[in-house]
Structure 1
Amino acid sequence: MRILSEFVEGFDTLADLPPAVSVFGSARSKPDSPECELARQLGGALARAGYAVITGGGPGVMEAANRGANEAGGLSVGLGIELPFEQGINEWVDMGIDFRYFFARKTMFVKYAQAFVVLPGGFGTMDELFEALTLVQTGKVTRFPVVLMGSTYWSGLLDWLRGTMAVESKISPADLELMCVTDDVDEAVQHIIDADAALAAEQEALKDAAVAQAEAKSAEA
């Protein structure tokens, strides 16, 4: 019943959320760290581009992204998790939900976001990154941009993906293209905007094709 209630609360609370981007990163990052400054700039840029910003609601990178969105006049969302060593929802969140279960929380991150942006983080950040990549790779979600920010931090992982996973055919070369790696906030936001536009054009083309097919069948009848 607790699991069911978390899904219901999440769906009800976020049902009317505007287009949003989930931003991930370490709760342990210091406020004056480069990744927190980057996250704050990113939150503001996403808000100015018309996106709500969703984070895990905690301190560190999450708080910085929420703050950037809040200061830019955007909607700042925090999906918190009950952990013994972390603070509650940070002060820059406009809309917050607390979860006990990671899997219920991750569903909300994916269901209500148009993209993921992943900044330096630990095990939790890795979990969210590879969840997103798996969903895109397997076609469970489509046109879902995954942006890695902090190229120096991610370089070792990317080298291993290319030099070990891809070389041993555990992933395909095309899978490496699922990630956009950048340190530029404007480039990250533009990548997300372009993916949205591509998806909208694809959906419009499918709609037009369905209408034309229906009209052709009607004419034959």
Structure 2
Amino acid sequence: MTTGREYRKGATTLRGTQVPGTTTDARLLDNAESSDWLHTDPWRVLRIQSEFVEGFGALAELGRAVSVFGSARTPVDSPSYALGQEVGRLLVEAGYAVITGGGPGAMEAANKGAADAGGTSVGLGIELPFENGLNPYVNLGVNFRYFFARKTMFVKYAEGYVVLPGGFGTLDELFEAITLVQTQKVTSFPVVLLGQEFWTPMIDWLRGTLLEHGMISEADVQRLHVVDSPEEAVALIVAANEQRRDAQRPE
């Protein structure tokens, strides 16, 4: 008799009746819980600290890397999956490790491309009620309970983002990256959107609504590079980082 679906909670694997009804993040953010938080939250701080230590320890010697985002719902036989796989391969050939969220769909595609090319294929997993751990193409994986710890790793160890078509999670990562660049929390951080047909309506909305209402500047929109091919995406990442390294060299 099998024990049912697998559920990852940090370093712990749970199945069957052991699968919790809520995630660690949900319990942390629940403002309706009792005053027991006075006693449990200090321990949460230690757990959060341990996640940062674990992530820093695993990725500190990663070297040059690029984070690739996209929908977990991308079918294996879709054009977006093929794009992700090719992006992963080309990034490895350009000398980069590939970082994804470690899940299925577009993330799996990029990991597969990187692993098949003999490169470092990183998966930063997260405790979710509907995903079953890291995809099989990850060769360096870290599992997180907390989104904010995981998000730090995506930015800290990457020299840019390639963003494939995706939903709320993909948009969350995309706009957080742009906000960090806009507020100068990170500098010279190229963000490339792969898929003209998918992303152009969003760019039109940014220009036609946010820019027209003065909510953003033209420079903010120009930080988003929309391309149609994996070759263009990787070339933009490589060129931007070569320019940054040249600027940092002493005269």
What's the TM-score, normalizing by structure 2? Answer: 0.81
Aligned-pair distance for 1:12?
Answer: 0.4
Residue in 2 aligned with 1:186?
Answer: 231
Q: How does 1:43-122 map to 2 (within 5 A)?
A: 43-122=88-167
What is the CA–CA distance in structure 2 between the aligned matches of 1:146 and 1:72, rounded to whole Å? 23
The 8 Å contact of residues 43 and 68 in structure 1, kept in 2 or not, is answered as yes
Aligned-pair distance for 1:187?
Answer: 1.1
Residue type matched to 1:106 in 2?
K
The 8 Å contact of residues 120 and 154 in structure 1, kept in 2 or not, is answered as yes
What is the CA–CA distance in structure 1 between the aligned matches of 2:131 and 2:195, rounded to whole Å? 24
Residue in 2 aligned with 1:153?
Answer: 198
**Gaps (5+ residues) in structure 2?**
1-45
- Selected match of 1:26 from 71, 81, 96: 71
The 8 Å contact of residues 79 and 98 in structure 1, kept in 2 or not, is answered as yes
Residue in 2 aligned with 1:218?
Answer: none
How many corresponding residue pairs?
206
The 8 Å contact of residues 111 and 121 in structure 2, kept in 1 or not, is answered as yes
The 8 Å contact of residues 59 and 87 in structure 1, kept in 2 or not, is answered as no
Aligned-pair distance for 1:170?
Answer: 0.3
Residue type matched to 1:152 in 2?
E
Residue in 1 aligned with 2:82?
Answer: 37
Residue type matched to 2:100 in 1?
T
What is the CA–CA distance in structure 2 between the aligned matches of 1:153 and 1:87, rounded to whole Å? 28
Aligned-pair distance for 1:127?
Answer: 0.5
Residue type matched to 1:201 in 2?
D
- Selected match of 1:16 from 42, 58, 61: 61
**Gaps (5+ residues) in structure 1?**
209-221
The 8 Å contact of residues 41 and 68 in structure 1, kept in 2 or not, is answered as yes
Aligned-pair distance for 1:202?
Answer: 1.0
What is the CA–CA distance in structure 1 between the aligned matches of 2:192 and 2:115, rounded to whole Å? 21
- Selected match of 2:208 from 152, 163, 167: 163
Residue type matched to 1:54 in 2?
I
What is the CA–CA distance in structure 1 between the aligned matches of 2:121 and 2:64, rounded to whole Å? 12
Deviation string 1:124-157 (CA, Å, 9 cap, x unpaired) is 1011000100011111111100000111111221
| 4+ aligned runs moved over 4 Å, structure 1 | none
Aligned-pair distance for 1:201?
Answer: 1.1
What is the CA–CA distance in structure 1 between the aligned matches of 2:50 and 2:161, rounded to whole Å? 25
Residue type matched to 2:235 in 1?
Q
What is the CA–CA distance in structure 2 between the aligned matches of 1:200 and 1:83, rounded to whole Å? 38
Residue in 2 aligned with 1:141?
Answer: 186
Deviation string 1:20-64 (CA, Å, 9 cap, x unpaired) is 000000001110111111000000000111100000000000000
- Selected match of 1:5 from 50, 57, 61: 50
Residue in 2 aligned with 1:176?
Answer: 221
2:77 counterpart SS class: coil
Residue in 2 aligned with 1:219?
Answer: none
Residue type matched to 1:99 in 2?
F
- Percent pairwise identity: 62
What is the CA–CA distance in structure 2 between the aligned matches of 1:3 and 1:153, rounded to whole Å? 36
1:18 counterpart SS class: coil
